[in-house]
Chains A and B, each alone.
Chain A
Amino acid sequence: MPVKNKKLNLKDKYQYLTRDMAWEPSYQKKEDIFPNESFEGIKITDWSQWEDPFRLTMDAYWKYQAEKEKKLYAIFDAFAQNNGHQNISDARYVNALKLFLTGVSPLEHAAFQGYARVGRDFSGAGARVACQMQAIDELRHSQTQQHAMSHYNKHFNGLHDAAHMHDRVWFLSVPKSFFDDARTAGPFEFLTAISFSFEYVLTNLLFVPFMSGAAYNGDMATVTFGFSAQSDEARHMTLGLEVIKFILEQHEDNVPIVQRWIDKWFWRGFRLLSLVGMMMDYMLPNRVMSWAEAWEVYYEQNGGALFKDLERYGIRPPKYQDVANDAKNHVSHQAWATFYQYGHATNFHTWMPEKDELDWLSQKYPETFDKYYRPRFEYWAKEHPEGRRFYNNTLPQLCQVCQIPTIFTEKDDPTVLSHRQIVHEGERYHFCSDGCCDIFKDEPEKYVQAWLPVHQIYQGNCEGGDVETVVSKYYHINIGEDNFEYIGSPDHKRWLSIKGKQSDDKESGSSQDAA
């Protein structure tokens, strides 16, 4: 505490207005009040060393946030009143929103719950307060996203049941299991996973691409939300960095634990980002930048500088970073090819890129696209008008950890699928990579519990044994409206009529021959 009889500086004043309200308990044991603080093995010797990552008293918080909300909702109202959905680049763009609302928005809500919890768990009041502010911010994002997409939901399909789908649909178990994994971990791992790996290291590759995509594609509602959330995100990022530095500075025994978490959450984050890579390269009619470019700038350069900075704590860059760096030229194409084949079981449409789009991909991926992906995509594009739009009617093998179908290829040979398996207590488990396999081996008792959508369908836990019943009854995907090929879909037809064009019925004839 500072020298007395001198006016407090801002830092000390903020501490008086937050952590000084806490006290050393004497009627109850500290470990009973904060029972979750120690089981992970993280050693905190002195919470007073916690540096508040931002200094925001509640009165200022209410004031700033209310101003932001007022502006944001004025734009939402104007957007709805003027039917702003008619001004987007192309209706294919809305499919990125469908992916966002079902894949990302529920995570905002899970983050709210997770931060509310860790906002209670720490015995350091400074850290608790910072986490609580993030909790209520995440609630904000979860709710404003519902409001931002509300108008789109009235004019396009596939946005109508996001939370229900998030709990059930096969590919949505990828983001869901990611967050479930973090929320079921202890409080320090939760912060390493979400505040550091997710918010600090990867946010420019996750949240930002959707918002930039909105900006490039005339989506005023979503991009305004993005700008409005920016200062919240900046606060979350500073918390992420403070958390990691604080834990590492507290005790050298923390270093190997944190390193293991960084390895794990980097890899889990990287796998999750395959969905974003696909969105950036394939779902945006007006492209912002390629996934490979984004990865180079935001991970290889910025992440590289960050891990250089963390070297002094004994932290090295995440394990399998080389595999991830190499994969930047492949994952988006492999993911889109997969979703294209399984377009009968998604709440968004898929399509083959048009010629100028294929050329853009060839130019952005000179080493890989023409050699490995373009011929396949051109073949599928040719098949479609012949009445043979390709759908894959088998169910894929999922990775036990990231839950993505095992579609990725080996680092040194993109013609070989990457597949690992181990036997644990008499059961065989399958993985997409060494990264995911290692995560399993560290905590097998956790990952054997995974709710794998394909297994669940085959076990009869999804209201039916055939794909069509699962998709319509269990997923609430409206067949023929939400799913299948984009060309000829109701969304496509509606868009053409908005733009005053006739729909070409010849094109739509072949879209329903799946499942």
Chain B
Amino acid sequence: MANGPQALTATTVKAKVSRDDWVMRGGMVVIGIYLLVAVIFPLYSLLSKSFQDEFGKFVGLANYAEYFATPALFFSINNSLTISFTSMVITVSLAFGYAYGLTRSCMPGKNIFKAIALIPILAPSLLPAISLRYLFGAQGMIKELLMGESIYGPIGIVMGEVFWTFPHALIIILTALSTADARLYEAAESMGTSKLRTFFTVTLPGAKYGVISACFVVFTLVITDFGVPKVIGGNYNVLAVDVYKQVVGQQNFQMGAVVGMVLLAPALLAFTADRIVQGKQVALLSARAVPYQPRPNKRFDLIMLTVCGIVALTIVGLLGVAQYASLVKLWPYNMSLTLHHYDFDLRDGGSWGAMFNSLEMAGWTAVIGTTVVFTGAYLVEKSKGFTHGRGLIQLMCMIPLAVPGIVLGLAYIFFFNHPGNPLGFMYATMGILVMCTITHFYTVSHLTAVTALKQMDPEFEAVSSSLKIPFYRTFIRVTVPVCMPAILDISVYLFVNAMTTVSAVIFIYSADTQLASVAVINMDDAGEIASAAAMAMMIVYTSAGMRLLHFLLTRGIARQSQAWRKR
């Protein structure tokens, strides 16, 4: 294959270029078909299900009419919006304070604080819910703090969601705050502007888009999350749990589909709004900007240290509680310690096999997902012409972000279990889990890849093609090594999320492919709460191990392949 282009004569240079283009277009068609199968077709089969009755007959909007006539279901919309909005306000405020401390103060231990704040990403969303139960439940260690209110309900949900979404908001706001231009602050100071006024006229406008983006991300994460309300929601019904109750409790797939579609609406709205806002953002950091350097200020630094310290302690505390609870023999009657709960094979709903399945699934997701996502992003970013096709693929890459995992999982059952589907053989295999997980986390991976590719000067390609080097060789020899940090980021992102995801896979795992995160739900459901905590901690340790490996690998590779970035 490699001698093909070389064999061509100089007069066919034009033909060679178009041949590259055709190969790229072919690749794009393949990616396009993949996205159709993985995203569009399943969602379509879900949509159509919501217009059918039990026997598959078209009934128009009858299911929707019934939905809105059932107050118990209908109220969930209000509940979902309430907890999502509350969690959003709290999380973003906390994350802003934390990020402000990290970027604008000279408090000590910034690296440790940063590391701690990112821990919740490594845990399934059920973990904080389980810990909260041990803290504030009827036998909780500090239940008095709730002053008689029950943790089972909106209070518990919001607390759990804030813990779980905090790092997502922090990453975004941290980026927004760290791109400050010191010249603006100097100007403000020289004009005698007060600190407070500077905050409102310089700091906040600069971070505006980051804050808005963080709001949308937290809102979408909370409204689509299923783990926290499932464990600690009590009687407080939310949409994500309603889907589960309809399908699992009553085998009412049609109503499950309707709730799924209802759930899709706010998520889609938040997503669209975010896109519009992002489109308005202009580069704040021009080439002449001077990075802001915080100056020591004893009082201010102490305040920031206290704020960050409290948040960090809470995060570590919640993890510590889960770890401790998983070791206690029979809470609260026998507080002696034991490793008994780690014997998952004897528990209802869990097994060590599930842990290994999770590892296998996460491994495949990382390898296949990174390959598909990066190749897809490359083709979309670097190919010429074919504008409509590229736009369509771009759009399909963005959709998964707006689709709640539980809706995606349900859509996968309907699509892949359809008797006429030639892909039916994938049903109940590891393959469908990998595909579903890749799809669920496609958008963020895609955006990471695109950002990395955009940083690459197009002259690389221009030079290569003028040297008659086929594009795939440039891709493997130049593009991939240059983008290695981004590629590793994507793969570890996919790996960690595959370990912790629950909502997307709860409907489609099978006996041979039970997963650790699902086992956490099932064990909690069956009342094996200590074992559920134990399994959740195992997931945290595995993800943390992978992160550490990623860190070491990135450092090694940075030395080898990123030397060109330094002078």
B partners with A: no
